[in-house]
Structure 1
Amino acid sequence: MADAFSSSSETVIQRVVDVNLKENTPAEKLFELYQIRKTCAFINEHNFGKVALQFPDELLVDSAAVAEEIERNNQAKTFILGDTSYGSCCIDEVAAEHVGADCIVHYGSACLSPSKRLPVMYVFEKRPLDVEMCTASFRELYPDPQTNILLLYDVNYDHAIGNLLTHLLPEYPNLVATELVVEGEQCYSHGRLNRDNNIISPPGDDNSQTICQFGRQFSLKSGSSLTDYRMFYVGQEGATLRNFMMTWNRCSFCSFDPVSMKGRIESVNVNRALMKRYYAIERAKDANVVGILVGTLGVADYLAILQQLKETLHRAGKKSYTFAMGKLNVPKLANFLEIDIFVLIACPENSLLDSSEFFKPVVTPFEMEVACNRKREWSEEYVTDFRHLLPGGRSHVPMADQQKDDDEIDVSLITGALRSQNLLNSEPVESSFGSSVVLRNQTLTVANTNSAASFLAGRSWQGLEQKLGETPVVKAVEGRRGIAIAYEEEGTS
């Protein structure tokens, strides 16, 4: 580390950084791994002329070879989509429409969020799974064969789940396996399911129920609920498992990591994680200016939740600004000091953003609704899929009537100050100094109506200004050389 700060500019520029890259897949395995024959059949069946191939960063090394093989086996023109603006697990419909694509073939990990604009085919990675080791870990974690267990897994292990069930089902009669089902009429790879059919009764059993959530469909036995089951997850620790654990936080989880080939009881304290999210909700209640971050342009109904958030914030007396900035990082959000808190619209797996490094908290649409809608209470339910918050969704709660309900005063758990949840119920009060009006709420305190524009006017630095005709013309001179931490003419101390 010391060498990095004492190096000259030439050394820094010429330094080589080692990056672990995935090796090219051998040609003989390319067809099987990327399901090229199935992909070509999909393209030919629907006569697609332009096909967008969406690869995550780790699979881009094979993208050119895959595109070449697809074009060799049909007349379609392929376009490679890399470095997506948002999460690579979501369908990048915007980039595909830029090239006029007729369909998208999505490779690698996927959140299975529904999309509406273009037909989609999913091709998952076939990551290796040691079925014998996984079976042994399952038996060790669940010694009682009569236990109600729900089997969940990462999409990249879908190819091996059938073999795993062959080993487990004869011994565990109450084991329920999930099936990958993508919602929407535009998906051609894992069946179709209407969005409104959240709970469907399978034929032959009117009492049982089939639940579809997060691209997984499973049937529970008659008279049971999801809280009666224990969860077993096949896959590595990450956003998918975290999403399951936060949503089904009343269920116990165990997992098997196919890479380390070890099973474990998930010891993450979900209640502690929920309390962290509740702290963010308290910050949202205190916020006056909210930034709405558009973290997806492909998930269905993202415009509907954007409009609903704007209306909710407006009725709660908060000002909102919308930002579309692609992948989030600390420097991007640090540019907007006037924003008190951000709310992120993204797929379920990307919405649970750890904002500990950010200068301002980042919450989910559900958490913002808890902060703004007094009819929605903080309970055991936690919603990561924003589509469930929309009218007709399973978790939709109408906004409280701000005109009929009395203004409610509560105490901030963070600052200890009184706050009002209903600024819209305020009435203008005429000032004794003239015809200007001052907005006051029922607590007789002046309401905070400062916008981002007034905040900007009060900053000492407001960005680059042209100042045409005000800057004197001077001769160009040679500037400093080197890097900022050690310019060459400064010498070393």
Structure 2
Amino acid sequence: MSDAFYTSSAHAFEDVEVGTPAEAGPSSMGDASSSLDAAFDISNTAQLILDGGFKTIGLQFPDELLPSSVAVYRALQARIAPSGAQAYVLADSTYGACCPDILSCLHLPADLLVHYGHACLTPTDAIPVHYVFPRQTLDVSAAAAALKDASASEFEGEGGKRGALVVWDVAYDWLADEIQGAFTDWPVPVSFATIQRPSLVPAGEGITTAPSGCRGKQDAGATSACCTSKEQGATSLCENGGAASSCCSSAAPANPASSKGKGKAPALRSLTPPPGIAISDTVLFYLGPEGRSLLNLQMNHATNSVYAFSAQGAWAVHPTSSRLLSRRLFALHSAMSADVFGLVVGNVGLASSRALVAELREALKLAKKKSYTLSVGRLNPAKLANFAEIECFVLIGCAEGGVVDSKDFLRPIITPWELTLALKGKAGVWDPSAWTLDLNAALDEATAVVASERAAGEGDESDNESELEFSLVTGAYRTRKVFGAAAKEETREGGTEVALRNDNMSLAKLESAGSMFLQTRTFQGLEPRYGLDEPAMLEQGRTGVARGYTEEKK
């Protein structure tokens, strides 16, 4: 018999050679010479838990850090146990390792999440999150010199760029002071995209952000963010532990969220150019490996020159963004020809996701299009293929997982900002410099689209819903499907019949997305045969289990 679907019992008596286990310890966080406490920030994390009075803590590890999870859990639990706090290890995240797994924490339920490893820095609002980033090594002086040589031509001449902005991977955040000190002797002003840390405020009291360090360097031609002022009623905590990658964090009262979940959360990293210089007149420098973070930086700033530095050296990466955005333009045209949309919520814990979903649903409703809201966890083609009636999906995800370019999916997947542009129709203008994955920016666009549709919808009597539209994707004309249309009623005098009519007085037809798709299918299910077969008497069926029913044992 084949062993494809079962394991033979003889294997239990075989002496199997166990391979070398995965290395667990500081080296998995990128610094083999440091201790477990320093690599995973255990002392500072334990102190934050004790000071905040948290009792249930979730420890989220990505797959590559799972070998270290047991050692980190034991070291942390030993320090917080006297206060009655309990930590739990979270693995196999619901959506992606870069995002805080808020859903798993709510199942515990946990009042604090400690996120280890690489992070996308997308704000969350459900529970406080403490980030522990990897600690990769970097020759900062060599990186600054290489980037200066590679981009020398960008600042020359009258049309040269007037400023520079330095962005680094989260694994180099512990070297932020050295990075800012290395970019001092430059011909133009330099600013730094400092990572903001969310304050550890107990649930229900609001969450704010604070700079990741008091880096008060104001060198000639350089600017940096520094937490030098305290708001009224705010408390500050400053620790100079060697394991911590930041020296200051503040907890300030935040405005309570509205009952509808609307409002924007502060960004954990903002790219601000030097004072008096526009972002379009700035050269971007990225310190880190080639990956999704660099790709997002290119696409969000398609008109800027981007230079990156990694172990392989410095190189210019800006020419590739136009090709990437061309694929997004094709997906956008597909969305303009779609009438049934699926709003896929990737991570339920994102700060602006609920408000954004509400605005997008309202915008689609006003545009007389059908929308479904889905939450499927990690995306794959098989999951989305189950919703065959949906013509276009809108992924509401984090900054590093919000773009899906795979050709394996049957339907196009667009971003929320692309949906707002598609709903504008002919009035929308494709601007590569405005393309963004920021949920707050998409929320502003969606709110503006809803306001414009409400202002123009009721007063526009010339909108012909049966007008043919030309699709640039298929190269053919199509008729718009109308869902939830406010049809006009016409009652003839002296009669009781009511007809639904369009502006051209033709009979209107209210469409159902499910029924219309069912009619186009070749197989529509088993034949119902209602009233064609005579009723039969009920009979008692088999009893027992499949290996031996009752009548078979006799």
Gaps of 5+ in 2: 28-33, 156-160, 200-205, 214-224, 230-264, 529-537, 549-554
Q: Which residue of 1 aligns with 2:86?
A: 77
Partner secondary structure for residue 37 of structure 1: helix
1:276/1:214 Cα in 2 relative to 1: closer, same or farther (>3 Å)?
A: farther
Partner secondary structure for residue 114 of structure 2: strand
Q: Which residue of 2 aligns with 1:186?
A: 207
Residues 1:460 and 2:504 are matched in the alignment: no
Kept in 1: contact 2:487–2:508 (CA 8 A):
no
Q: TM-score, normalised by structure 1?
A: 0.78
Residue 11 of structure 1 deviates from its aligned partner by 6.9
Residue 427 of structure 1 deviates from its aligned partner by 4.1
Kept in 1: contact 2:111–2:128 (CA 8 A):
yes
Kept in 1: contact 2:167–2:284 (CA 8 A):
yes
Q: Which residue of 1 aligns with 2:276?
A: 223
Residue 386 of structure 1 deviates from its aligned partner by 2.3
Q: Which amino acid aligns with 1:93?
A: I
Kept in 2: contact 1:150–1:177 (CA 8 A):
yes
Residue 73 of structure 1 deviates from its aligned partner by 1.2
Residues 1:122 and 2:131 are matched in the alignment: yes
1:191/1:25 Cα in 2 relative to 1: closer, same or farther (>3 Å)?
A: closer
Aligned residues: 449
Residues 1:60 and 2:66 are matched in the alignment: yes
Partner secondary structure for residue 115 of structure 2: strand
Task: Look at both structures and tell me which one has the larger radius of gyration over its CA atoms.
Answer: 2
Q: For 1:100, which of 80, 92, 109 is the aligned residue?
A: 109
**Backbone CA RMSD of aligned residues:** 4.1
1:335/1:125 Cα in 2 relative to 1: closer, same or farther (>3 Å)?
A: same
Q: Which residue of 2 aligns with 1:208?
A: none
What is the percentage of aligned positions where both structures have the same residue?
A: 28
Q: Which residue of 1 aligns with 2:252?
A: none
Residues 1:326 and 2:377 are matched in the alignment: yes
Q: Which residue of 1 aligns with 2:439?
A: 386
User: CA deviation digits over 1:12-57, x for unaligned, max 9?
Assistant: 97899x9998521159621111100110110111121111111112
Q: Which amino acid aligns with 2:149?
A: E
Q: Which residue of 1 aligns with 2:261?
A: none
Q: Which residue of 1 aligns with 2:463?
A: 407
Partner secondary structure for residue 338 of structure 1: coil
Distance 1:243 1:69 in 2: 36
User: CA deviation digits over 1:107-150, x for unaligned, max 9?
Assistant: 11112122222122111011222335423421331236966221
1:24/1:422 Cα in 2 relative to 1: closer, same or farther (>3 Å)?
A: same
Residue 151 of structure 1 deviates from its aligned partner by 0.7
Gaps of 5+ in 1: 1-7, 193-199, 205-211, 479-493
Distance 2:154 2:135 in 1: 29
Distance 1:397 1:203 in 2: 40
Q: For 1:168, which of 167, 180, 183 is the aligned residue?
A: 183
Distance 1:255 1:173 in 2: 18
1:22/1:440 Cα in 2 relative to 1: closer, same or farther (>3 Å)?
A: farther
Kept in 1: contact 2:211–2:226 (CA 8 A):
no
Residues 1:250 and 2:297 are matched in the alignment: no
Kept in 2: contact 1:107–1:122 (CA 8 A):
yes
Residue 419 of structure 1 deviates from its aligned partner by 5.0
Q: For 2:288, which of 221, 235, 257 is the aligned residue?
A: 235
Distance 1:277 1:20 in 2: 45
Kept in 1: contact 2:273–2:282 (CA 8 A):
no
1:218/1:243 Cα in 2 relative to 1: closer, same or farther (>3 Å)?
A: closer
Distance 1:154 1:136 in 2: 18
Residues 1:417 and 2:477 are matched in the alignment: yes
Kept in 2: contact 1:121–1:187 (CA 8 A):
no
Residue 179 of structure 1 deviates from its aligned partner by 0.5
Q: Which residue of 2 aligns with 1:46?
A: 52
